[in-house]
Chain A
Amino acid sequence: MSTGTTTLDVVVSDVVPVNELVTRFHFRRRDGGLLPTFSGGAHVVVEMRDGDRTRLNPYSLMGSPLDTREYTISVRRDDAGRGGSLFMHRQVKPGLEMVISYPVNLFSLDLRAKKHLMLAGGIGITPFMAQTSQLAGAGGNFELHYTCRTASLGTYADVLQQRYGSRVKLYHDDRGERIDLDRLLSSQPLGTHLYVCGPAGMINWVRDRAASLGWPLETVHFEHFAAPQPGAPFDVTLAVSGKTIHVGEQQSLLEAMEAAGVDPPYLCRGGVCGQCETNVISSDGKFIHNDHWLSEEDHRSGCKIMPCVSRFEGKSLVLER
């Protein structure tokens, strides 16, 4: 693996179906020891060796940071994706030996906050599972608002309500329940920090409302891992390593570089952390920027690309790697 991501040899200790879309996976260290400490909101990158293909997907750790005998992640099946979640659902069984990265936290709690207001949408609940465990253990003040499509897809809603009672509020789309966001945001005591994890539309909505209601940027935290999108295949020349590589339909640019023996740094593989940022030396075609890292200006300039999630369509592309 790469910069900042030392690997851990683990064995799958349990696989638990949670509902029709979500399955939970438990990992233990192969040598039986304790896993590294992490903080609520951290993720690990899971290596999936699927024949001659290796996929690396990030998943939030959802267990309690107070228990490092095992790590748990929950994976939502995406039938239209590039196959990572399907591989997890179909191929990963208890006893399988796997390799995962050390935990990395790009969505940590700001412990200076007087109160933590959490907003989750769908599978975006996973980092909050760990964050609420962490805060509950330390007597922290939090409130979680969780929107899901239906009660049966409210992953862990029952667990959370059982643990935290009225501190957890549920909203079901099929019952027409919706967060009264302006009211919620306007009624929070001074010193509250806001955390949001869910679909891009939800994150944008919440960030936008918070900003217009006077929440300082520093108090609004969000996490959205954009899974790499499939697209038309393209060729890339890597100037520093002197290679020309082909990026397949179902492959990300970062994965293609790795397959060619180039080892760019990365942390999130979801277009948010900025580690894999790469300079474009020349290009003739159209960039499909899917990241949340580069500014709009960077996107327009055509001088930078995030190879973990972004693609290219056109005649030629030369990158500095």
Chain B
Amino acid sequence: MAAKTIISRPIYGTLSPQPGKHHLFIADAEGALAITDMAGKAPPGFFDGAEIVFIPGPEAKHIAALEALKPAQLHIAPSFASLLPRLKQTLTNAHMGLRLYLAGTEGLIGQAMQAALEAGIDHTSIETEHRGSLARRMQCVHCKGITENVTTQPALCSHCGLLLLVRDHYSRRLAAFQGVCINAEDRSEIPPMEEIFR
């Protein structure tokens, strides 16, 4: 779990089964293990009312483990972008009593939460668990472009090319960390780039 630095920096917990009849899980890669770990604590029949949406990623692991939980629905998606229309549709048709569980990378948790917030779910009522990569989704505060999977500090904006300090300042609305130009005074000053959000 990431350390708390500034207030907006998201803090993740450990998935735990909530009361209710409908449960929607969204996970990527290692996030599947958060679901299977939680299954041990779930009451009998819990997954009868559960839908799992899973992005396995290139390694394509953990699908069988999720199938073994026998959820009402298991949907495998190639990317977050490809599952987003389906997620929005599910949330639009959903009723109070649907509980949301997000597990995996910060990018996945943040973007799924962004869709949930738009649908009217309070962020405090969403179960989250961080697993796998620490790669960040970053917004360049100068050009507003979003760069996915940032692992270095500083990082290059993939839109305007500025060298950015990746801050812990996080926007729930954008589901992104803020990147601020690190050498605005003197562009010739290039600090070494280190991989730190692996």
Contact = CB atoms under 8 A, between A and B. Distances in A.
A206 B92 CA distance: 25
Given A213-B19, A213-B21, A214-B18, A190 B96 contact: yes
A218 B95 contact: no
B124 A216 contact: yes
Contacts of A185: 96-97
Contact of A214 (B92, B98, B120): B98
A114 B96 contact: no
A9 B19 CA distance: 49
B94 interface: yes
Interface string A184-196: 0111111110100
Contacts of A190: 91-92, 94-96, 98, 119-121
Contacts of B19: 211-214
20 contacts: A113-B120, A114-B120, A187-B95, A189-B95, A189-B96, A190-B91, A190-B120, A190-B121, A191-B119, A211-B19, A212-B19, A213-B21, A213-B96, A214-B19, A214-B22, A214-B98, A214-B99, A215-B96, A216-B124, A217-B125
A216 B122 contact: yes
Nearest to B91: A190
Contacts of A112: 120, 122
Contacts of A213: 19-21, 96-97
Contact of A186 (B95, B120, B122): B95
A123 to B, nearest CB: 27
A23 to B, nearest CB: 37
Nearest to B122: A218
A123 B38 CA distance: 45
A275 interface: no
Given A214-B98, A219-B96, 4 more contacts: A186-B97, A190-B95, A192-B96, A218-B122
